[in-house]
Structure 1
Amino acid sequence: MDFIAEYWAEFLFGGLATVITAMLSAGYRKLARKVEEHEQVKDGILAILHDRLYQLCQYYLGQGTITPNALKNVEYLYRSYHSLGGNGTGTELYTRVTKLPLDLEGADDNEH
């Protein structure tokens, strides 16, 4: 009993440190899972943007021209795609589409 009375503060602080360490460890694991989920969602969005950008660029490159509204749409998609880290094929296709002649008399391209 004298031993416990003499060292009660050390026991108390040791137990408290153990509890705090366990709580921090659990919080870190939860945060790590959230970061991983965030990266997976980002990758999924990037894949969807890449697919949409690829499809639009292929369409307009096949047409040989692009309307101003369609070009704005492609630019909007590309900016989002690029800011999420997309590059390579998407950038190359976007660059090619921006060099297409503008079709100033074409219909509004909202359906593509």
Structure 2
Amino acid sequence: MPEIDQAVLISIITGVFSGGVFTFLQFLIKRHDDRTNNVDAKNKLVEDALLAILHDKIYVTGSRIIAQGTISAEDASNLDKLYEPYKQLGGNGTCERIMKKIEELPLKVED
């Protein structure tokens, strides 16, 4: 084979091979990005679900306590533990208003 034909053949093989390698690398990167995006979407759904559960628990428990007119130290501690992560997750003002009303309630003294 003449030298010029060998050089052309080597260039073609090198081009095809390197193109294939880069295509494969792009495929792997895209697959990784797709998986990461899917995990991010699932994490957002879990965060939203947790926020909804915390909101419901604070709303139901807080409404019951407000209706009673007093709060026990145990209930106050429990609500604080629910409200802090709710607030950090970006909860709205509904539970904040409930917590402010609860803070005004007298502490129930256990016999």
The two structures, once aligned, show a CA RMSD in angstroms of: 1.5
- Under a length normalisation based on structure 1, what TM-score does the superposition of the two structures give? 0.86
SS in 1 for 2:22: helix
More helix by share: 2
Choose which of 61, 69, 72 in structure 2 pairs with 1:67.
72
Matches within 5 A, 1:9-88: 9-88=14-93
* Residue deviations 1:46-75 (CA, integer Å, cap 9, x gap): 101100000011001101110111100011
2:91 is aligned with 1:92: no
Which of the pair has more CA radius of gyration? 2
CA distance in 1, matches of 2:11, 2:88: 62
Query: How many residues in Structure 1 have an aligned counterpart in Structure 2?
Result: 106
5+ long unaligned stretches in structure 2: none
CA distance in 2, matches of 1:46, 1:34: 18
> Match of 2:11, as an amino acid?
E
- Under a length normalisation based on structure 2, what TM-score does the superposition of the two structures give? 0.87
Matched-pair identity in %: 28
